[in-house]
């Protein structure tokens, strides 16, 4: 479905403000493209980084072709089409991503569940035409949502879904996994200072020239043109899940794309969650899961995971930060 409009147009979910802070003497190269339904931005500092940047863009297109469930012939499309019958042969990175997603599902008690596809379809978030689904259909679709019914076999290189009608939707994890893959491409090509940003899923490589930290802006979920503040990060990855990224309004209520797999309804306890974690996959998976878990249980989970910090923005605008996030968050730019 190449005709779908990209979901995030001119601004990424998190604006990286490295341009404000970059040192003019170090050459910088930037590439942008539309991929995975959003904007990819790759910025690399140093000389001779062009080939690495091109290789990163090629990798992004390759992974999109594997993981877009709406693209006819993609690996996820084939797995979904075979639901209820034989497992499907897929590439090692697809098995690895599914296995990681299932671990996050276990860890979060199913708050993150990539078998949410049938429910996402009912709400119309994949097609861009949002609607409130009839309760009966929602209940039927919920029976098909269960990550324990995904079969992965790394040795055989297969993935299967136990029941007909099930479908995988990697929307909550694929961008993070892709950012990690692009980051590795850059690193292996010898790039020492770079930032990969795929629709607000960001991973940092090295440090920006002349500075110890990157400066990442965090958007205000109720006015995404405004920044709530800044994160000063020496490394790692950041992702935000928000109720403002894809939604429709009915009767003054906001219906958005992060769904609680227990109810099939949009999770309503927070407006956005920003996660800082060692890898972009962790940040992506956990930002969605903590959004569903909410500001109490989600906060506790973030505190319990080593290397993971979180910032919750509540629907009323209050901000709740884990201690480690507090130490890198500033309201005003330096
Ligand atoms: P974005 O894709 O806007 O960056 P997320 O990473 O939070 O935001 O992913 C949200 C997407 O993940 C939804 O559009 C949907 O495709 C899928 N999704 C929604 N709720 C869940 C859930 N509870 N578990 C797994 N995937 C989900
Ligand atoms: Mg996510």
Q: How would DSSP label each residue in 67-89?
A: H-TTSTT-HHHHHHHTTTS--EE
Q: What is the pLDDT of residue 4?
A: 40
- Tokens at residue 322, please? 């884990």
Report the DSSP pairing between strands 38-45 and 28-35.
antiparallel
Range scoring the smallest mean pLDDT among 17-21, 27-31, 102-106: 17-21
Taking all residues of the chain, what is their mean pLDDT, rounded to a whole number?
92
323 Cα to the center of ligand 2, angstroms: 22
Identify the pLDDT of residue 25.
65
Taking the CA of residue 117 as reference, the ligand 1 atom at the shortest distance is: 16
Asked if residue 5 has pLDDT above 50, the reply is: no
Is pLDDT above 70 for 19? no
Q: Are 39 and 199 in contact (CB under 8 A)?
A: yes
How far apart are alpha carbons 32 and 53 in whole angstroms? 10
pLDDT of 7 > 80? The answer is no
Cα 326 to Cα 328: distance, rounded to the nearest angstrom = 6
Concatenate the DSSP letters of all residues of 171-233 into one string: TTTHHHHHHHHHHHHHHHTT--EEEEEETTEEEEES--TT-SSEEEEEEETTEEEEEEEEEEE
Query: If we measure between CA atoms, which residue out of 54, 58, 80, 55 comes closest to residue 67?
Result: 80
- Within 6 Å (CB) of ligand 1, which residues are found? 112-114, 116, 120, 125, 169, 171-172, 175, 199, 241, 245-246, 257-259, 261, 284, 287-288, 292
Name the nearest CA neighbour of 275 among 291, 261, 296, 264. 291
317-329 pLDDT per residue, tens: 999 999 999 999 9
- Say what the pTM is: 0.94
Question: CA-CA distance, 308 to 324, in Å (whole number)?
Answer: 8
**In angstroms, how far is CA 317 from the centroid of its own chain?**
22
Angle at 198 between CA 195 and CA 200, to 5 degrees: 90
Q: At what angle do helices 92-107 and 174-188 cross, to 10 degrees?
A: 130
To test ligand 1's pocket by mutation, which of 112, 115, 200, 288 has the most ligand atoms within 8 angstroms of CB?
Answer: 288
pLDDT at residue 43 greater than cutoff 90 = yes
Site to substitute for ligand 1 among 258, 268, 275, 292, most atoms within 8 A of C-beta = 258
Per residue in 211-244, pLDDT (tens digit) is: 999 999 999 999 999 999 999 999 999 999 999 9
284 Cα to the center of ligand 2, angstroms: 4
Which percentage of the chain shows pLDDT scores above 90?
89
Residue 198 · residue 129 · CB < 8 Å: no
pLDDT band at 24 (very low <50, low <70, confident <90, very high): low
Placement of tokens 């949002």 in the chain: 130
Show the DSSP H helices in the chain as ranges: 18-21, 50-67, 75-81, 92-107, 117-123, 135-142, 174-188, 280-304, 323-326
Rounded to 5°, the CA angle 313-32-14 comes to 10
Helices 174-188 and 280-304 meet at what angle, rounded to 10? 120
Q: Which atom of ligand 1 is nearest to the CA of 173?
A: 6
- Look at residue 14 and tell me whether its pLDDT is greater than 60: no
Mean pLDDT of 170-185: 98
Q: How confident is the model at residue 17 (pLDDT cuts 50, 70, 90)?
A: very low
């Amino acid at each position: 479905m190449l005709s779908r409009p990209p979901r995030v147009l001119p601004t990424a979910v998190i604006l990286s403000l490295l341009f404000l802070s970059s040192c003019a003497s170090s050459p910088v190269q930037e590439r942008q493209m539309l991929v995975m339904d959003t904007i990819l931005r790759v910025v690399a500092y140093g000389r001779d980084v062009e080939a690495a940047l091109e290789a990163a863009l090629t990798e992004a297109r390759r992974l999109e072709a594997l993981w877009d469930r709406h693209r006819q012939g993609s690996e996820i499309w084939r797995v979904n089409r075979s639901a209820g019958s034989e497992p499907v042969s897929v590439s090692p990175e697809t098995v690895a991503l599914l296995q990681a997603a299932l671990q996050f599902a276990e860890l979060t008690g199913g708050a993150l569940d990539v078998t949410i596809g049938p429910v996402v379809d009912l709400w119309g978030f994949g097609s861009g035409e949002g609607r409130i689904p009839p309760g009966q259909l929602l209940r039927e679709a919920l029976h098909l949502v269960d990550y324990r019914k995904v079969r992965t076999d790394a040795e055989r290189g297969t993935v299967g879904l136990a029941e007909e009608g099930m479908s995988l939707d990697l929307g909550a994890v694929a961008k993070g996994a892709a950012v990690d893959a692009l980051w590795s491409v850059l690193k292996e090509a010898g790039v020492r200072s770079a930032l990969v940003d795929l629709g607000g899923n960001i991973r940092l490589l090295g440090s920006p020239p002349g500075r110890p930290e990157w400066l990442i802006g965090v958007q205000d979920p109720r006015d995404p043109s405004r920044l709530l503040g800044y994160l000063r990060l020496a490394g790692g990855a950041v992702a935000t899940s928000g109720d403002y990224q894809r939604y429709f309004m009915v009767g003054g209520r906001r219906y958005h794309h992060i769904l609680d797999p227990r109810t099939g309804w949009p999770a309503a306890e927070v407006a956005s969650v920003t996660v800082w974690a060692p890898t972009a996959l962790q940040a992506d998976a956990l930002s969605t899961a903590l959004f569903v878990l909410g500001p109490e249980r989600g906060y506790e989970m973030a505190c319990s995971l080593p290397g993971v910090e979180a910032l919750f923005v509540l629907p009323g605008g209050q901000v709740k930060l884990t201690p480690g996030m507090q130490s890198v968050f500033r309201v005003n730019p330096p």
